[in-house]
Amino acid sequence: MPAINRRNFLQTGAAALAAGQFAKAAPNDRITVGHIGTGARGQELMRAVMANPNTEIVGVVDAYKGRVERAIDRTSGRAKAYRTHHELLADKSVDTVVVATPDHWHKQIIIEALRAGKDVYSEKPLTYRSAEGVQIIEAARQTQRMLQVGSQGMSSKAEQVAKDWIKSGKLGKVTMIRASYNRNTAEGAWLYPIPPDASPTTVDWEMFLGPAPKRPFSLDRFFRWRCYSDYSGGIATDLFVHLCTTIHFLTDAKMPARAMAMGELYRWKESRDVPDTLNAVLEYPEGFTVSLSSTFNNQFSQDAGFQILGTEGTLVMGGDEVTLYPEAVVENNRWVVESWPKALEEAYYRDPKVIATEVEPAKNFKRPDPEKFKDDGPDPTILHFGHFFESVRTRKPYWEDASAGHHAAACAHLINRSAVERKMTEWDFTRDDIRG
């Protein structure tokens, strides 16, 4: 689906098209950016920042020296290396920060950045624990800074079209959503290669740990942190958070009222304590149910894993395409009526209402053609940053603000708690947090 499939967005044409999506900024509107966390995803985000006009990455921070070196190289040597995020935040020449650290660092760095007067773009998930979301929302409110979360799907034209189709009533009443995110490789299961020069000399272990439990130095934990519950919520916070963000954006829903989930570790047991398979059911008070599933043991339906089922049609999102399949429903009670006395059956088919709803539609039935849209625009991450920088200049927040980010991440936390506790979990709409 467009929210999670990354394309090569460094192509010149894509970058130029992205720049054209937003109003041209004056030369003195240049926005300076500091990157806190420059791992694999962090450096993808750097490319997206540089594809937007009138922005400059001026500072980077990371706990692995090799990443800092590569990040500075990507800026042609212009960015400065800061020893800690505290030093970067203290630099008044830095306007905005991108937080692309492991999840357990997000809340602390985000709140410190907001209080330091920086506008913040945080990679998803916004939070490591559900309760942190309320604290971040309050910090953003008090400081009046812009905060945008990095589930970039809704910035794609594909999701904008899907939302319009749903709002126009083409799907009728939506009562069920099914979404999956499957993989079948070691890389897909986050068992990433470790740089040959990684050692206690090149890796700042204490910087990485931060607020996490103290543990002995481990390159596996440092470079494969998504595999460990000390730093990540696993599949739910890394993958389901994208799906929930999209669901909330498309349907204008806020949060599920309850969740049931099961997760197990079946295969990728090396360097890991989070499940490689997870299934969840969410019930929304808006009147629909969501089924989410993910496995790292089979990649079937990876490119067509999002289905929104309505009474009048089905919307399927896969790759860069959105397809609307109108419902083709014809009443046919023949097999039931044939069990009646013959005279009653014949009378049934002489009834004008039956002729109008069963006989004539069946005679003239033709399956409607699907409606398709293919998104050939820039990568959504470029556009998502474009919205962020527009918010920085105009002081008007984009859709995925602190509240939207909190609720998308909270879905993942609701799911994880259910899977761990093996029972249904509920959302407290009054407290804006998990009940209990």
388-434 pLDDT, tens digit per residue, is 999 999 999 999 999 999 999 999 999 999 999 999 999 999 999 99
Does residue 291 contact residue 281 with C-beta atoms inside 8 Å?
yes
2 cis-preceded (ω within 30 degrees of 0): no
DSSP structural state of residue 306: E
DSSP structural state of residue 305: -
CA dist 250 and 393 (Å) reads 26
Q: Give the pLDDT confidence of 284-301 residue by residue, as tens digits.
A: 999 999 999 999 999 886
Q: What percent of the chain has pLDDT over 90?
A: 87
CA dist 110 and 97 (Å) reads 9
How much is the pLDDT for 425? Answer: 98
How much is the pLDDT for 352? Answer: 96
Does residue 143 contact residue 117 with C-beta atoms inside 8 Å?
yes
How much is the pLDDT for 1? Answer: 42
CA dist 319 and 303 (Å) reads 5
CA dist 248 and 255 (Å) reads 8
Residue 314 token pair: 């089905």
Residue 339 token pair: 């069990």
How much is the pLDDT for 21? Answer: 53
User: Region 234-249: what's the mean pLDDT?
Assistant: 97
CA dist 301 and 309 (Å) reads 17
- Which three-class secondary structure state does DSSP give residue 309? strand
Residue 10 pLDDT exceeds 60: no
DSSP alpha helix (H) spans, 8-147: 12-19, 40-50, 65-74, 85-90, 106-115, 132-143
Does residue 158 contact residue 323 with C-beta atoms inside 8 Å?
no
User: What stretch of H or E contains 406?
Assistant: helix 402-421
Does residue 284 contact residue 253 with C-beta atoms inside 8 Å?
yes
Q: What is the per-residue burial (b if ≥16 Cβ within 10 Å, else e) of 375-398? A: bebbbbbbbbbbbbbbbbbeeebb
How much is the pLDDT for 304? Answer: 60
Residue 153 pLDDT exceeds 50: yes
Q: In angstroms, what CA-CA distances link 56 with 48, 77, 201, 371?
A: 11, 12, 30, 41
- The domain locations on the chain are 12-155+378-400, 157-327+368-377+409-434, 335-359
Residue 366 pLDDT exceeds 80: yes
User: Which position has the token pair 């039935």?
Assistant: 365
How much is the pLDDT for 4? Answer: 37
How much is the pLDDT for 140? Answer: 98
pTM for this structure? 0.92
Residue 382 pLDDT exceeds 90: yes
DSSP structural state of residue 123: E
Residue 3 pLDDT exceeds 50: no
Query: What is the torsion angle, in degrees rounded to the nearest 10, for the CA atoms of residue 399, residue 99, residue 406 and residue 180?
Result: 90
DSSP alpha helix (H) spans, 75-217: 85-90, 106-115, 132-143, 157-167, 205-209
Angle at 140 (CA atoms; ends 138, 145), nearest 5 degrees: 160
CA dist 257 and 285 (Å) reads 6
Residue 175 token pair: 């009562």
User: Which position has the token pair 């993989």?
Assistant: 183
Intrachain domains 12-155+378-400 and 157-327+368-377+409-434 with the same fold: no
- Which three-class secondary structure state does DSSP give residue 294? strand
Between 103 and 16, the more confident residue is: 103
Q: Give the distance from CA 345 to its chain's centroid.
A: 54
Right CATH number for 12-155+378-400 from 3.40.50.2030, 3.40.50.300, 3.40.50.1820, 3.40.50.720? 3.40.50.720
Q: What percent of the chain has pLDDT over 70?
A: 93
The domain made up of 157-327+368-377+409-434 has a fold known as Dihydrodipicolinate Reductase; domain 2 (3.30.360)
CA dist 259 and 412 (Å) reads 10
User: What stretch of H or E contains 420?
Assistant: helix 402-421
Residue 261 token pair: 């989930």
How much is the pLDDT for 301? Answer: 64
CA dist 369 and 388 (Å) reads 38
Q: Give the pLDDT confidence of 38-53 residue by residue, as tens digits.
A: 999 999 999 999 999 9
User: Region 159-178: what's the mean pLDDT?
Assistant: 97
On the 0-12 / 13-18 / 19+ scale of CB atoms within 10 A, 323 is middle
User: Region 323-341: what's the mean pLDDT?
Assistant: 95
- Quickly state the pLDDT bin for 2 (edges 50, 70, 90): very low
